[in-house]
Structure 1
């Protein structure tokens, strides 16, 4: 029998739980997740609707504009975002609502996106109000307005 440390034993750094997954754990998780929509098990209605959206967008020669995935934990929202990115040959960018504290945080994320990238915001309901307003503008007009300065001398610079 292998000599594994007890679950509550500290590691070499003195931590009881490591700060993140190593390469082996990441590879194992990636291998378990389906890569194509046809391989996603369950949720026939969601799969059907998403299939129509993806086929229509690809037939037009572009990617879907916006997709909202909602529901309790464990339904596969992150997996579906990964599938969308894979189906459109895009890069998936993942962040979370709590990680975006200011509108500038969101502006930095949005300005780093390339054509065809898929942005997945987990726990979007916890997005800061100012960032939420910026996200609406970005989704509707495909631009972000950055305000430089304060008061009457403030200037709004549109980033497209």
Structure 2
């Protein structure tokens, strides 16, 4: 069963750092360079038992968990016209098995019903065909796109009609 969890423990932070060092994973992401080094430095130089406040500095951050074990993450980044969603399944052995879609639906429910966000945006690289298909299949609508990034969005009304 897929769940979203906000508590980020040391083991989770180190898993995230591992994922962000994998070239196959980061090829699909727009994360900062050296972010995994920053995460490892944070873990090595602090005595914190939990890292929620650090991972939530630039928007809300959730771990995607399968039977309690973190397999990826979702974050909501505030933007001028809503919030951008970033979703990653870091455990590559689980790619293509529907966990991302389930996590995306849960994240959208959280965004629209609990957090009361009005609009969610996504930026997806054209080479990430599975993510593009997943977002479109759930009901995200294409917006302006450049050769490097596809812009998609969904508002609460569309979510209620198509995804819920």
Same fold judged by TM-score > 0.5?
no
Q: Which has the higher contact order (CA 8 A, sep 6+)?
A: 2
More helix by share: 1
TM-score range, shorter chain: under 0.3
User: TM-score, normalized by length of structure 2?
Assistant: 0.27
More strand by share: 2
User: TM-score, normalized by length of structure 1?
Assistant: 0.28
